[in-house]
Amino acid sequence: MSKQKDNTLNSQADDSDNEQHDTVDAPVLFYNDIVIEHFTNPHNVGELLPDETDGFALVGDPTCGDQMKLWIKVEDNTITDIRFKSFGCPGAIATSSMATDLAIGRTLEDAASLTDDDVIKALGGIPENKRHCSLLGITALQQAINDCLLKRMIEPE
Amino acid sequence: MIYLDHNATTPVSNEVLQAMMPFFQESFGNASSFYKPARSARAAIADARNTVAECIHASPGEIIFTGSGTEADNLCLRGVARAFYGREIHIITSSIEHHAILNTCRDLEEQGVRITRLPADACGRVDPDTVLKNITDNTVLISIMYANNETGVIQPIEAVSEIARKKGILFHTDAVQAFGKIPVSVEDLGVDLMTICAHKIYGPKGAGALYVRKGTAIAPVITGGMHEMGMRAGTENVPAVIGFAKAAETAVASLDETSVKVGLLRDSLENRIKETIDRVIIHGSEARRIPNTASISFAAIDGESILLHLDLREICASTGSACATGSSEPSHVLRAMGVSPIDAASTIRFSLGRSNTSEEIDVTVKALQEIAGRLRSISSIHNH
């Protein structure tokens, strides 16, 4: 189809989002209680000291929205501690909190397979226009895991 | 609940509600009809037109009631463009206007109208010299808002209107945020067109007006019957028009008293935030501002996160108007002033009203101290 401007009603909605979102049935208009609880009392907030840190990630760009830092500690291939800090909207803070909850105690491979849909499902849905925020925590987690794997690759056995 | 979002909307006051009530069931007639219940509606609209005209020092025949401030802005821009149809048209506006102006200008641009958007300085003001420099032979209209909705900064309307008059160009101001908060006289301002609306001054939603100076070249946008002197077809929303007039009359009559009271509260809010929370910026504080508006950025914290914490404490405020659409675009007004994207994203607008109290300001300042501490402790860009 040509990229010509579509002047029909609802064309904007169609343009902005063609993905199928089957995680939630009805459109979510505001943050639910689970999201608000994770926002007001986020889990795993803080930083790990350099000698406790096996993987680190800095994602997002504060000049165009949210930014997040995430630290992981790994023992026996399992994430045993995880911390984050975030400059972001309630959606970014709550999804980061939930992403760290889901990751802790998992093996690196298992944690790396987590998706933003897993985070959204665990939170019972987030407003449609906040879906992009949910990517931040997962992206940071995956990058911190990669950081950890790369370090291992470089270090001698 | 502590309501600090009066630039978004205000509750309908009791006196306005009482004035509106008879026009739902008693004098319900179509103001264009022949019989008595219609004649009383017709007479009430005429009275309302007189009242609103008096409030802004205009003549009744220069007031066109519309369904909103946005509609009045549309009527002005599209109506003037239509009146000059067939000519090359250039319109000058600013980059800090409300979306009712900006998005309508963008639409006109797609239809071939040339648009110039003037920048604002760091204080949030449009420089009248830039207006002069950008005038061309094709310039037919200049539209600069009176007071900005986000910062409250008052624009140099008299200076721009002098330029417009000398050059023989029509001048419109969107005075939606100024009306009822500072004196607004079309004679003193020297404007040809002006937008005002009801729901920012304790009137109902769905009522606005465009002042059109007698003899101004403008064509209707909504066509149909001969309502509103043929300039805005559609059966009049009689209760809303009556409520608008009552709200305007009340706001203008008590303007000095209310604005001083509200201004003292606003200043107290700003001063106490500055004194007790570090790294805050008050946008536009160097400029003349309407007395109810405070635009404050809290470094290293996202505005929406502050808003939700305030909301959980039943305190209502807002971020830049862009966020209402759910986009995470930082406010175009603050960006136009050269505010960094991070500081723009960290900004909360408090807009006070006549019912606010100093106790409410106390509670709000205390809440903000706690919220700022909490969010900064988890912020990835806050340096301890």
Closest Cα in chain A to B311: A36
Look at A63 and B340 and tell me if their CB atoms are within 8 Å: yes
Q: Where does the pLDDT of residue A62 fall: very low under 50, low under 70, confident under 90, or very high at 90 and above?
A: confident
Asked, for residue A99, whether it belongs to a domain, the answer is: yes
**Contact residues, A window 94-153, toward B, CB-based 8 Å cutoff:** 127-130, 132
In a domain, A62, yes or no: yes
Residue A99: strand, helix, or coil: helix
Position B320 pLDDT exceeds 80 = no
Answer whether B302 sits within 8 Å of A66, measured CB to CB. yes
Q: Look up residue A97 and give its two tokens.
A: 């909190």
pLDDT at B293: 98
Residues of A annotated catalytic, as ranges: 64, 133
**What is the C-alpha to C-alpha distance for residues B132 and B143, in angstroms, rounded to an integer?**
13
Which of A31, A84, A87 is nearest residue B302 as measured by Cβ atoms?
A87
B184-209 mean pLDDT: 98
CB–CB contact A89 B382 (8 Å): no
Residue B382 lies in a domain: no
- pLDDT at position A32, please? 95
Burial of residue B341 (CB within 10 Å: 0-12, 13-18, 19+) is middle
Confidence (pLDDT) at A11: 47
Q: What is the CATH number of the domain that holds A81?
A: 3.90.1010.10
Check whether B301 has a pLDDT greater than 80: yes
Q: How far is CA B311 from CA B218, B236, B270, B304, B305, in A?
A: 44, 37, 20, 10, 10
Average pLDDT over residues B256-275: 97
Q: Could you tell me the pLDDT band of residue B51, with boundaries at 50, 70 and 90? A: very high
Residue B136's domain comprises 14-253
pLDDT for the residue numbered B384:
55
pLDDT at A71 exceeding the cut of 90? yes
Q: Any CB–CB contact under 8 A between A86 and chain B?
A: yes
Distance from CA of B334 to the nearest CA of A (A): 14
Under 8 Å between Cβ of B190 and B161: yes
Output the pLDDT for position B37.
84
CB atoms within 10 A of CB A86: 31
pLDDT one-digit tens code per residue, A111-140: 999 999 999 999 999 998 888 888 889 999
The Cα of B371 is separated from the nearest Cα of chain A by a number of Å equal to 10
Give the confidence band of A25 by pLDDT, cuts at 50, 70, 90.
low
The residue-averaged pLDDT of A75-95 equals: 95
pLDDT number for residue B324: 40
CB contact under 8 A, B380 and A67: yes
The mean per-residue pLDDT over the stretch B369-378 comes to: 97
Number of domains in chain A: 1
What pLDDT score does B330 carry? 83
Place of tokens 């904007």: A12
For residue A7, the distance in angstroms to the closest alpha carbon of chain B comes to 12
pLDDT of residue B326 exceeding 70, the answer is no
- Closest Cα to residue B97, out of B147, B133, B24? B147
How confident is the model at residue A18, as a pLDDT?
42
A:B CB pairs within 8 Å: 62
Alpha helices in B59-176 (DSSP H): 69-83, 99-110, 128-134, 157-167
Candidates B55, B76, B197, B323; catalytic one: B323
| B209 and B260 co-located in one domain | no
Owning domain of residue A125: 26-152
Residues B102, B56: one domain? yes
Q: Is residue A9 part of a domain?
A: no
pLDDT above 80 (res A3): no
Long-range contacts of B19-23 (CB under 8 A, 24+ apart): B19/B242, B19/B243, B19/B245, B19/B246, B20/B204, B20/B239, B20/B240, B20/B242, B20/B243, B20/B246, B21/B239, B23/B238, B23/B239, B23/B242
- Of B253, B280, B296, the last residue of a domain is B253
The H-assigned helical ranges of A25-130 are 33-40, 90-103, 108-112, 116-122
Residue A157 lies in a domain: no
